[in-house]
Structure 1
C-alpha cells in the first residue's frame, strides 16, 4: 500500500492486494455502482458493498440486484433507530440549522455510515474503506473526516476526488457490463428518515432551477383548500416523545410528522451550501418533521430556560453545526458542545400545540411543567409590587436630617 492511507484517485487502487477484502459504501447509485465495476475489473476477489439503512428511498432489493450483477457481497445494515437516537436527537437539541437556511441532514448521516463501515471493515480484516464522494460534494470531507477520527487502520477515501469520471462514461461502461438500470436519473439524491435532498443535474445552476413537483414525496400538498389540522408535540428532557399525547419512538414520530405536516406543503428548503474551499452549490430539501420539531423545541426551550442561557446557546449551536458539517462529528469540540446542549436539554420539557394550514402553522398552546412564562400579567405585577414594597412598609419612610 502507499505510505498515505488516503485514497484520492483510481490509480491508487492499483496498489490494493487482490486477495484482501475491500469495503465500499454503496448507495445503489451511479458512482457507487461504477466503483464496484472498477474493483471487479482490477481483480479484487472480495468486495463488500455496505448500505446503511437510515430510511432512504432506494429499496434493498434494488441494491442487492445491482451489487450481485457486479460481483460484490452486499450488506444492508438497519441503523434507523440508532440514527434517530444518536444523531437526529442531538441535532434537535442543538437546533442544527445551517446558517439559518436549512436543517442539516447528510451532516448527521455520514458519521454513522462511516462508523458502520469501519466496524464491518475491522471484522473482515479489510484493507480499505472506499466511498464515492467527489470534490463538489460536502460528503467528501465529512466521510474522510469521520474515517480519520475513527482511526481506521487501513486505506480510505474516494477515487473520484482527483479522478472524476463523466456521467456518460460511467453509464456506457456499466451498460457494456450488462447493467442498464441507472440512466433515467436527472439529479443526485440523498435521503433518510429526517430529510430528502436533491442536487446536481438539473439543479446545477442556482440562477435557474426548478424542481419537478413529482420529486417531492412528503411535502406535496394533499390537504384541501381551507383545511386545518391541530397537532400537539411533547418534548421530555430534550427528546420529542409523543404526538397528540400518544407516546411514539422517535423514528415513528418523525415518519408520522413528515406526512402529516407535509400534507400542508410545509418543510421545503432551498439554498446554497459552501464547499471545502468556499465555493457554493445549490441543494434542495424537504423536511416537514424537522420543520415542526425544531420550532417546537425552540418554543419549549424558551419556556424552560433563562433568556441569557438561551442567547448563549444560540451562539454555541452554530459552533456545533460548523464542527459537524466540517466532518468533525467525532471531534473533541463537537463532543464538548454536545455536553452543553445535553445539559440544557435536561430542563427542556413541555409541549406545543400547532394549527397547521396550507403554507404555514400557528401555535395554539405552549405548555411546560416548570415554566418561566407568565399566565396572568396583572396578577404577577401585583405580586411583584407587593414583594418590592414589603421592606419599605416594615421600616417606614427614611428620615433626612438637614
Structure 2
C-alpha cells in the first residue's frame, strides 16, 4: 500500500488515539483529520478538540450523532429483537457502522485517501470498522496501527508519548484495571481484572446501573408507546429516539436493570469475557416483545425469531452494510407494519416485566380464547379434524416402526 497523503482518524482524545495521531504524522508524513463522534458516551468532547489542535490535526470534526445512532441503527436492530448468542444486546457492535460511515464520508469531504482506527489486532472492532468502510468505499485505504507498529506494550506507548510531548494522565502511567467502551445504548467493560471468568466482577465495575440489591424497594411502572415497531413515547409523552433511550437508561439504571456478565465468541476466534450494562435497551427489548405479542401473528413472529440469530451475528461480525443484512431488515420492517400500541412494565430490583399491553391493531380475541361461554365464536369440534390431519404422518411412522421393531 502506498503511503497516504491524508488520513481521517477515529479519535477519542484518549492516550491511544493521541499516540496514533502522532504516529501517523511521523510514520507517513501525512495530514491527519480527526473525527470524534458523540454517541452518548457521557464524556465532555471539547478536550478532544483542544488536544487535536495542540497535536497539529489538519482538520477536526466533532459531531453529535446521538439521534442518528438511535433512529437509524439502534431502533432498526431492536425491531428484530436482536441478541447475539441469546444474551448480548450488541451495544458496541451497532455503533461501529455509524462511525465507519462518517469516517468514509469525511474522507470524501476532505480529500483524504485513507481512514484509521485504534482497534487492536485481537478484537472484533478492527473487523467491523474495516468491513463497513470497504462496503461504502471499496477504494479506501484503512490503516490499523496496532497491526503495524512496534509499540506493543504500555511501556513503549508511554515512552512514545513522552518523546513526542503527548499529555499523559497520571492514572495512565500504570496498567488500567479494565477497558471501557460506552455509548447511549450500553457500557462495556473488559480486560485485565475481568479476564478470569471464574472470578466474580467487583461491584465498582458498574458505570451506569445501581446494584439490584441497592435499587429502590418500591416498584415503578412505565408505559412505552410504539409505532410500527419503534418506541415513540414514554408515559404518554412523545420524545425523540435518543431522548427515549436516555430516559429508559435513567429508569433502568435506577432499578438495577440490564447487567450482563458474558463470555462470548469473538469473530476472530477467541472467547472473551465482558460486563455489559444496557439498562434502557433491556427495558426496550421487553416492551417491544410485549407489544409484538398482541400485534404480530404467530407465523410471522416465528419466522422473524428464526432469522434473528443470523441477523444478530451479522451485526456482531461487522456486516451491517451487507446485502444479506439489508434483505433481512426488509423482512423485519415488513413485520412491524402493525406493531403499534402501548406496553406497561413494572421495574423492580433488576427486572423489567411486562404487566399489560393494548393496541388498536391487536389480534388478540377474548371472544375466541375465553374459558367462559364463547357465544359461538369458536366451534370446538373443528379441532378433531385438525388433530387427525396433523396426526396422520405420525400414525404412519409409528405403524412402520412397530412393524420392524417386532
> Which TM bucket (shorter chain)?
0.7 to 0.9
Q: What SS does the aligned partner of 1:160 have?
A: helix
Q: Normalised by the size of structure 2, how large is the TM-score?
A: 0.86
| Bigger Cα displacement from structure 2, 207-216 vs 300-309 | 207-216
Give the distance between the partners of 2:29 and 2:180, measured in 1 at CA.
Answer: 28
Counterpart check, 1:192 vs 2:192: no
Is 1:46 the counterpart of 2:51? The answer is no
Shift of 1:151: 1.9
State the match for 1:29 in structure 2.
14
1:77 lines up with 2:77 in the alignment: no
CA positional deviation for 1:181: 2.3
Aligned to 2:371: 378
Match of 1:283 in 2: 274
1:395 corresponds to which residue? Answer: none
Deviations 1:214-238 (A, max 9, x none): 6422445697652121101111111
Evaluate the alpha carbon distance shift between residue 162 and residue 21 of structure 1 in structure 2; reply closer, same or farther with a 3 A threshold: closer
Residues 1:175 and 2:197 are matched in the alignment:
no
Runs (4+) of structure 1 moved beyond 3 Å?
182-185, 218-225, 378-382, 385-389
Q: Which aligned pairs between 1:2-151 and structure 2 lie closer than 5 A?
A: 2=1, 15-17=2-4, 20-42=5-27, 44-72=29-57, 73-151=59-137
2:189·2:205 contact (CA, 8 Å) conserved in 1?
no
Whether the 8 Å CA contact 2:245–2:280 is kept in 1: the answer is yes
Alignment correspondent of 1:165: 152
Q: Which residue of 1 aligns with 2:195?
A: 204
Q: CA contact under 8 A between 1:56 and 1:192: conserved in structure 2? A: yes
Partner Cα separation in structure 2 for residue 380 and residue 253 of structure 1: 43
Query: 2:25, 2:31 within 8 Å by CA — same for their partners in 1?
Result: no
CA distance in 1, matches of 2:373, 2:248: 37
Aligned pair 1:299/2:290, yes or no?
yes
Distance 1:222 1:249 in 2: 32
3-state DSSP class of the match of 1:369?
coil
The 10-residue stretch of structure 1 (161-170 or 22-31) with the greater mean CA deviation from structure 2: 161-170
Q: Determine the C-alpha separation between the residues in 1 that align with 2:142 and 2:373.
A: 62
Whether 2:234 is the aligned partner of 1:234: answer no
1:263-342 alignment, distance < 5 Å: 263-342=254-333
Secondary structure of 2:375's counterpart equals helix
* C-alpha contact (below 8 Å) 1:197/1:283 kept by paired residues: yes
Corresponding pairs, count: 374
Farther off after superposition, 159-168 or 26-35: 159-168
- Segment drifting more, 160-169 vs 326-335: 160-169
Q: How far apart, CA to CA, are the structure 2 residues paired with 1:284 and 1:90?
A: 24
Structure 1: which 5+ runs fail to align?
Answer: 3-14, 390-402
Superimposed CA distance per residue, residues 215-268 of structure 1 (whole angstroms, 9 cap, x where no aligned partner)? 422445697652121101111111101111111111101101101121111111
Q: Distance in 2 between matches of 1:385 and 1:337?
A: 36
- Structure 1 contact 111–329 (Cα < 8 Å) conserved: yes
Question: Under a length normalisation based on structure 1, what TM-score does the superposition of the two structures give?
Answer: 0.87
Q: Residue 382 of structure 1 aligns to a residue in which SS?
A: coil
How far has the Cα of 1:388 moved from its partner?
7.1
Stretch moving more, 109-118 or 312-321: 312-321
Q: Give SS of 1:378's match.
A: coil
Output the CA distance in 2 between the equivalents of 1:119 and 1:88.
Answer: 20
**Distance in 2 of aligned mates of 1:382 and 1:76:** 65
Change (3 A) 1:313 1:380: farther
| Compared CA separation, residues 265 and 323, structure 1 to 2 (3 A) | same
In the aligned structure 2, how far is the partner of 1:78 from the partner of 1:242? 22
Secondary structure in structure 2 of the residue aligned to 1:119: helix
Structure 2 unaligned spans of 5+: 383-406
Distance 1:153 1:35 in 2: 22
2:403 aligns with: none
Tell me if structure 2 keeps the 8 A contact 1:232–1:354. yes
Measured in 2, the distance between the counterparts of 1:75 and 1:200 equals 30
Shift of 1:125: 1.1
Q: Rate the CA distance shift 1:88–1:133 in 2: closer, same or farther, 3 A.
A: same
